[in-house]
Amino acid sequence: MDDLAVFVRNVQCSNCGGQTALPDTILEQTIQRQSVWTEAGRQVNFACPGCNTLTRSLVFPGALLALPKGLYRDPDDLGFYLVSLPCENKDCESPAIVLAAVKYDKEPGIVLVEVARHWRNRSAQCPKEHLLKEPLEMGNWLRLPK
């Protein structure tokens, strides 16, 4: 199975500019639930594993990259989550859905909760373009099947 290609697309954090390669299947599941079109392209709420900041982050358009599995970080070492966070408007019933990539998460949810304590929000928004309630409140989460 080692020579199977893994389809990935890069997401660019709007805070630090760092890019994270994510399996296309994970991005598709995220986009189906919540995403926006902007002049720059498709954007999702993303929790950057590099700077722990939540932003609306650009999903790079264009052709998918096919990386040999040996060159791609072992997906077994990453947990991918969709996390619901309430927005700042308490009358709004549309939470923001944030995609989070968490390293070395062997027990689903355990490391996520730890990592989320260090999150700060810069530009993640609910579908009505409200920022998030502060301090951040982690709501329901879903570990995405790969």
Which residues lie near Zn ion (CB under 5 A)? 13, 15-16, 18, 48, 50-51, 87, 89, 92, 126, 128, 130
Measured from the CB atom, the residue of 69 and 123 that comes closer to Zn ion is: 123
**127 neighbors 94 (Cβ within 8 angstroms):** yes
What lies within 8 Å, CB to CB, of 117 at 6+ separation is none
Distance CA 29, CA 48 (A): 18
Q: How far is the CB of 62 from Zn ion (least distance, A)?
A: 21
Q: How far is the CB of 101 from Zn ion (least distance, A)?
A: 11
Measured from the CB atom, the residue of 29 and 123 that comes closer to Zn ion is: 123
Measured from the CB atom, the residue of 108 and 128 that comes closer to Zn ion is: 128
Measured from the CB atom, the residue of 8 and 145 that comes closer to Zn ion is: 8
Q: How far is the CB of 93 from Zn ion (least distance, A)?
A: 8
Distance CA 6, CA 71 (A): 10
Q: How far is the CB of 112 from Zn ion (least distance, A)?
A: 17
Measured from the CB atom, the residue of 13 and 26 that comes closer to Zn ion is: 13
User: In terms of C-beta distances under 8 Å and separation of at least 24 residues, what long-range contacts does 32-41 make, across chains too?
Assistant: 33/82, 33/97, 34/96, 34/97, 34/127, 35/59, 36/127
Neighbours of 120 (CB within 10 A): 13
Distance CA 138, CA 115 (A): 11
Q: How far is the CB of 49 from Zn ion (least distance, A)?
A: 8
